[in-house]
Structure 1
Amino acid sequence: MTSAAPMTKQAEALHASLVALEKAIAEEEARQRARIDAVLPKHRLSATNLAHYFGLRKKDVRRLQLDLAALGLSSLGRCEGHVRDTLRRLCGWLSGEGGNATAPGAGEALDWAKAEKILHDNTHALFGPRPPDRHVYIMVTAPDAIEATAAWSDELLQAGADLLRINGAHESPQEWAAIAATFKARARAHGRQGRVIVDLPGPKLRTDIRQLEQPVLHLPRRKDQFGRTVTPTRVLLVAEHAGEAQIPVPPQWLPRLEAGDVLGFTDSGERDRSLVIVGPDAAGVVAQSLRSLYVTPGLELVWRRGEKELARGQVGMMPKQPAVFSVNVGDRLLLNASGQSEDPAARALAFPEPQLLAQVKVGERVILDDGRLIAVVEAKRSDGLLCRVKHAVKSPIRLRSGKGIAFPDSALSLRQLGPQDEIALEFALEHADGVGVSFVNTPQDVALVGERLKQKGKPGFGMILKLETRGAMRNLAAILFEALKHDPVGLMIARGDLAVELSFEKLAEMQEELLWFGEACHLPVIWATQVLDSVAHSGLPTRAEVTDAAMSMRAECVMLNKGPYIAAATRMLVDIIRKMESHQYKKRSLYRPLSLARTPPADKAD
């Protein structure tokens, strides 16, 4: 048996650096010992590796990476899931031992193959069986219940959707139950599981405008890039208005309306319009139109069946709706719990979390409408926070009720399960396969929902942590260790709110880091927010969206939002993922034969 060749000075220096890193990750493991011991036994290896990854990423190893790569060795750039194993194998190669990763007292080995298996097992436990033609899952956000028909579900499933997300901030358990039942039934018909995830609303970080104006119901038509209507706009005819896409008609008409009947009227834009009756629904009668509609109370309706006029009536009462503020840079806004001000001309916004407003300080930023408007707190007064608008995407900007609000500079304590959270959680436990926990800021937020799930004793019920706040980034280590106390569990990079909290520039960096940390603790990650959003809404992508979709396949799941062209967006995403999976897995490039590399045969000599 020959002894290993002596190391060169360069190899000795690299070996010493790697040994120092091994020591650093061992020290981090010792520091995190209490957290590691607290996780589920099945996640113990993952928690240990997570500690190792934190230990590694506290160091600047860029020079070491370049030097290792220059020798044709691993540059540590793909070691997230198996940090210690990678370091020990590198030490083995440099010392002439051929990549041996064993060491005294090393415990259970976690090499690349085992790390991959753990990640895949955790992914399948949360999302269900792997899609047959790819390893990345696709989750789609459910539309309103009236649109989530069996035909809609069939088209979506045939396009390649694997999971459905129901937003617990909209509609009610009655509508959620109809959506979930329809999707699951159609999934079974297609031989699929079709798991359903329900998002808990979380703290209502939204503002309301309490000043009211006359109601106008706008029902836009759905058109393609040529302006042609592609699908009818549906509306529910009811006796009394109780929701957005509803038109109140004379109650005595409802039991007598038949499919094919027409209700004609002149809408508030003074355009002739008609609604064609589709048929009865549990809550009223469904009608549809191929044109956009602007409907106000009191409009005259003419009911016809064929050429015969059956009756005339009026659109019934609808509640007044919140006003729309026109806001310029330099304007002041008042933020308080009531949305009222002694000055009737003041623009007051209601924020239903007064205990959070009390934690905001003068000089801190207030971001409204997903970053389209940025203000700064000028004063804390008895009637609320007085804020001055500093930036807007355009001036003036129209600010509507119900828009999101964020306090990126403020250290806020958010977590409590409100009434709507409780309703959504109880519904999910009965009808769905998991919950999404919104606005996670601390490990206590994870524990609060996680313990509730354990008490219910529903094996296999999943929990997805939505990482969308500055607080989540500050407390990421503690949040991830807390997550490993539960199973199955996953992470969502909620890029919309995260961009508002951190800035778009910082998001570009942070979304990458969150992918790495997900791999380090072997938890599946969902890449979310505005993926192929233009396709979902118009049928056509932008160049940037295609690139974003290609990048998204490094996550275990990609989430699409709702839209009239959501099936087309799903098909496009499936196609992009399939193509990209032959080129890349996580951060690893895969070299399949390229058509561009094929050279034509050499010309024959004359």
Structure 2
Amino acid sequence: MTHFEMKPGEAVSLESLFVRLKALRTRILSETQTELQSIDVQTNDDGRLFSLHNLLNYQVMRRENLHALQSGLAAAGLSSLGRVEPHVLSNIDAVLNVLSLAVEGMAYVPEKAEWCLGYEAGYHALQKRASRLFGARPENRSEYILVTLPSEAADHPALVESLLAAGMNCARINCAHDNDQAWSKMVRHIRGEAEALGVTCPILMDLAGHKIRTGEIQVGQAASQKTREKFASGQKGQKGVYPKIHRHDKVLLCRDKARFPEMEAVFGLSVHAMVTVTCPDVIAMVSIGDSVWFDDGKMGGEVMAKRDEALLIDMTQVGPGGVRLKPEKGLNFPNTDLALPTLSDKDEHDLDFVCQHADMVGLSFTECAEDVLRLHNRMREKGVEPLPILAKIETAKAVRQLPTILAVGLARNIELGVMLARGDLAVELGSVRMAGVQDQILRVCEAAHIPVVWATQVMESFVKDGRISRPEITDAAMSQRAECVMLNKGPYITEAVRLLSDVLQKMESQQFKSHTHMDVLQL
């Protein structure tokens, strides 16, 4: 691999830029062909083949650090390839043509590249796929708004009508909550109210997946006398009853609450608390030294010992005031490969309803291309045309596998979208790393022309209590990088839809994805 070196302040010749960029193009074409050999391409659709080649072009291009080349191109007043995603080779060829005219006095004649998308064609491919998932493009903005419906939407069609009137473009039903009777009512209200307003509103139904959460809790002998007495006499769920965990407290994560009385003896020490896990099979999959995070990352620890029935965790990541250990809170295992089936038993049951009533299906905790293929094939086995799949990227493994997930989806004729589930992902990756990974996910999906849903905690405080914070407005403005933005349920959800729509509309004149538009400066 040839690297382009440039020292600070050094003038770069157009000739050297021309040579370096031609070498990059040659490498992209060569390595893309190599990558194609490992993919089972079963599609004959030109659009999918264009997108697949462009995705591989982008992957290959990003295998080396291009900072110096980009700086040299920018210094020469040329495109620095910073917005190359939807049309990799077309962008490179356009720059090569300018350099060729300047250096050789003639237009650049590129080596023929099959499946090379033009500048506008890349954006058109992305918009076309977004409309297949989320419906007709909104009249007053580029982005769609997806809303998670609360349980009360089953009995209050007026709520659905108000959301549609405020700007909701798609509705999400979370199969982790309610039941098929409630879902039927929600679907009926969405279809009816959308028809009455003369709009379309596709329905996403999210399969619950393997809900790995805390279960039953018991205080241990290492807890203070006051904590043990309060827990023993208090009503579960009452504020302050559950034990507060501090840094380096010991917690046992157990398969079965029936083993609580003997677990401390099994490990040979007293602990501060014991808690079951709703998916007991994960106990066997976790290794000593692995990390475990509780309650959306509010506290975490390291597995210091393991038995067949439980894990002993040293709680190393807890704030100075401590955190209460509560039931029904999420558990994350960022260092552990959880080899769980793609679909849980509940997912299998719910999938029948989803196939009959939804317009797309959300696959929770998608981790590899095989997960997407299994769900796609499972729908075929049920004798229905497979719905588009929204792959929810929630784990570190899913991030590593994302390019392959996208490539296989394109190659195997699977209608695919991606949900950037920033909550679980931030717990898995850490908040600092999450910022950079978030940008890379958006760019890789743009290169594949696959739509993205920007999800988790968008305008959360406003949705819950009607108060908006400045950071939340900034986050909402950033969400225009995606094709669709998701809001979760809450008392002020209708007002939040209206506000988000307004923010996205105002961003239209200033930003489109990673492109900055220079509107009239109003400072």
Shared fold by TM > 0.5?
yes
Relative distance call for 1:400 and 1:34 in structure 2 (3 A) is same
More strand by share: 1
More helix by share: 2
Relative distance call for 1:9 and 1:530 in structure 2 (3 A) is closer
SS in 2 for 1:505: helix
Relative distance call for 1:100 and 1:554 in structure 2 (3 A) is farther
Match of 1:369 in 2: 295
Match of 1:405 in 2: 331
Match of 1:420 in 2: 346
Match of 1:217 in 2: none
In structure 2, distance between residues paired with 1:520 and 1:143: 34
Matched, 1:581 2:491: no
SS in 1 for 2:251: strand
Pairwise CA distance, 1:384 = 0.9
* Matched ranges for 1:313-392 at <5 A: 324-339=242-257, 340-343=259-262, 347-392=273-318
Pairwise CA distance, 1:36 = 5.1
Pairwise CA distance, 1:429 = 0.7
Matched, 1:73 2:78: yes
SS in 1 for 2:13: helix
In structure 2, distance between residues paired with 1:72 and 1:415: 52
Matched, 1:524 2:442: no
* Matched ranges for 1:33-182 at <5 A: 33-35=36-38, 38=41, 40-42=43-45, 43-96=48-101, 103-145=110-152, 149-182=156-189
- Quick check: 1:362–1:379 contact (8 Å CA) kept in 2? yes
In structure 2, distance between residues paired with 1:581 and 1:522: 20
Cα deviation code 1:174-221 (max 9, x no counterpart): 111111211221111111111110111112221212569xxxxxxxxx
Match of 1:445 in 2: 371
The alignment's C-alpha RMSD in Å is: 2.4
Match of 1:272 in 2: none
Relative distance call for 1:363 and 1:572 in structure 2 (3 A) is same
Matched, 1:23 2:11: no
Name the % identity.
37
Give the alignment's TM-score, normalised by structure 2: 0.87
Relative distance call for 1:526 and 1:178 in structure 2 (3 A) is same
- Quick check: 1:90–1:99 contact (8 Å CA) kept in 2? no
Q: Which moved more, 1:537-546 or 1:356-365?
A: 356-365
Relative distance call for 1:494 and 1:480 in structure 2 (3 A) is same
Structure 1, unpaired ranges of 5+: 1-7, 213-318, 597-606
Give the alignment's TM-score, normalised by structure 1: 0.76
In structure 2, distance between residues paired with 1:9 and 1:394: 53
Pairwise CA distance, 1:456 = 4.7
Pairwise CA distance, 1:343 = 4.5
- Quick check: 2:379–2:385 contact (8 Å CA) kept in 1? no
1:558 pairs with one of 470, 485, 505: 485
Pairwise CA distance, 1:476 = 2.1
In structure 1, distance between residues paired with 2:140 and 2:398: 34
Match of 1:270 in 2: none
- Quick check: 1:494–1:529 contact (8 Å CA) kept in 2? yes
- Quick check: 2:54–2:86 contact (8 Å CA) kept in 1? yes
In structure 2, distance between residues paired with 1:99 and 1:79: 24
Relative distance call for 1:98 and 1:452 in structure 2 (3 A) is farther
- Quick check: 1:136–1:577 contact (8 Å CA) kept in 2? yes
The total of aligned residue pairs comes to 483
- Quick check: 2:421–2:455 contact (8 Å CA) kept in 1? yes
In structure 2, distance between residues paired with 1:579 and 1:162: 18
Cα deviation code 1:290-311 (max 9, x no counterpart): xxxxxxxxxxxxxxxxxxxxxx
Matched, 1:207 2:222: no
- Quick check: 1:92–1:101 contact (8 Å CA) kept in 2? yes
- Quick check: 1:414–1:441 contact (8 Å CA) kept in 2? no
Match of 2:6 in 1: none
SS in 2 for 1:208: strand
Cα deviation code 1:255-311 (max 9, x no counterpart): xxxxxxxxxxxxxxxxxxxxxxxxxxxxxxxxxxxxxxxxxxxxxxxxxxxxxxxxx
In structure 1, distance between residues paired with 2:452 and 2:12: 42
- Quick check: 1:493–1:525 contact (8 Å CA) kept in 2? yes
In structure 2, distance between residues paired with 1:437 and 1:62: 36
Pairwise CA distance, 1:398 = 1.8
Q: Which moved more, 1:425-434 or 1:31-40?
A: 31-40
SS in 1 for 2:142: coil
Pairwise CA distance, 1:510 = 0.8
Cα deviation code 1:306-328 (max 9, x no counterpart): xxxxxxxxxxxxx9879733322
Relative distance call for 1:578 and 1:9 in structure 2 (3 A) is closer
Code of the residue aligned with 2:49 in structure 1: it is R
In structure 1, distance between residues paired with 2:463 and 2:34: 47
In structure 1, distance between residues paired with 2:29 and 2:489: 46
SS in 1 for 2:85: coil
- Quick check: 1:528–1:558 contact (8 Å CA) kept in 2? yes
